[in-house]
A = this chain, B = another copy of it.
Amino acid sequence: MNDIFLKACRKEKVPYTPVWIMRQAGRYMKEYREIREKVSFISLCKTPDLAAEVTITPVKRLGVDAAILFSDILILAEAMGLDITFTEKDGPFLKNPVRDKSSVDALSIPDPEDKVPFVMETIKILRNNLEGGIPLIGFSGAPFTLASYIVEGGTSRNFTIIKMMMYQNPSLYHTLLDKITKSITLYVSSQIKAGAQAIQLFDTWAGILAPDDYREFALPYTKTIIEEVKGKGVPIILYINGGGGLLELMKEAGPDVISLDWRIDMDNAISRLGKDIALQGNLDPCALFLPPDKIGERVKDILDKAKEAGGHIFNLGHGILPETPVENVIAMVEAVHKFSSKVQHDRRPAP
């Protein structure tokens, strides 16, 4: 088995830098678009054979070092009792956003085996099919991001509604976040039981919080989940989009790996976070519009800087964009493997 990704998460010595891509099963791939012509996004998430197929296609096509479960972070919100519509263009939206005590009280803490069995089934199929191959990453939205969707009712520009709840009704906010945190803990625990070998928590929206607000309204919940899950022997990756101002606080949450977006220099991240944590990232998804040789230069630059990190998993700084040419993605993966064989040779021993 190729366990280089898992080794890098644990800051162990690796022969080259592992790479995978956020949203690697997505619209930029012809194979994915063909399946999506036949089934809706939500049916795809809920049909284990198909979800497993779209998970595996990019693995074969790109030569990445990890697979990530094909699913959506709002699958859990639906399991908590919410009515969600998944649209292609404007993202998901909720018919009845959660904004008062009665709707918070109405949310359930779902038993994943009972409410989202298709997720566990997909994981089991994947583990069988990936046997002898690469590790499988499970995932969930982090508490603040899931709460943002649930309260705002979809994606948001200024996140005024959830911030109003935080500021004007903190006890309601904390009750909601407690429920979400318990639900996520059960959810990722079930994913691990089903076979997920690493977990990524996506706190996609937490970058809109001022650091002191992140500390009060997001960090404690993420930390609770990581503490609960950490004993289960799989590495936890924490991602925040726009988290450049929150790096030190992300580390306080206790993940094995911090996943950086592209808006922070790898050098700067290492100097702030030290060598006792692995880093993931952090090429701008738009850099894949560059010609392949230029992509190689950028890959090399990140790899060179990341030599100083405790461990490094190459990735984009955010999900891959639908307009991305597949051949450029392949060029990126090849460049990571090629240039890091050299880099690894130079890697300084961990302190």
Contact = CB atoms under 8 A, between A and B. Distances in A.
Interface of A: 158-160, 163-164, 167-168, 207-213, 242, 244-246, 262-265, 268, 284-287, 289-291, 294, 301, 317, 321, 323
Given A158-B321, A210-B262, A210-B284, A167 B290 contact: yes
A208 B263 contact: yes
Contacts of A159: 286
A159 B262 CA distance: 14
Contact of A268 (B207, B245, B301): B245
B286 A167 contact: yes
A40 B321 CA distance: 37
A163 B263 contact: no
Contacts of A163: 284, 286, 289
B168 A289 contact: yes
A163 to B, nearest CB: 4
A159 B213 CA distance: 28
A212 B208 CA distance: 23
A290 B166 CA distance: 9
A248 to B, nearest CB: 8
Q: Is the interface of A mostly helix, strand, loop or mixed?
A: helix
A245 to B, nearest CB: 4
16 contacts: A158-B286, A159-B286, A164-B286, A167-B287, A167-B289, A167-B294, A168-B289, A168-B291, A209-B263, A210-B284, A210-B317, A212-B301, A213-B284, A242-B242, A245-B265, A245-B268
A295 to B, nearest CB: 9
Contacts of A245: 244, 263-265, 268
A246 to B, nearest CB: 8
A263 B301 contact: no
A243 to B, nearest CB: 9
Given A164-B289, A289-B167, A265 B212 contact: yes
Given A159-B286, A167-B289, A208-B263, 7 more contacts: A163-B286, A163-B289, A167-B286, A167-B290, A168-B291, A210-B262, A211-B268
B286 A263 contact: no
A331 B207 CA distance: 27
Given A244-B244, A265-B212, A284-B213, A160 B290 contact: no
A245 B129 CA distance: 41
A207 B265 CA distance: 13
Nearest to A288: B167
A321 to B, nearest CB: 6
A160 B323 contact: yes
Contacts of A263: 207-211, 242, 244-246
A297 to B, nearest CB: 10
Nearest to A261: B245
Contacts of A167: 286-287, 289-290, 294
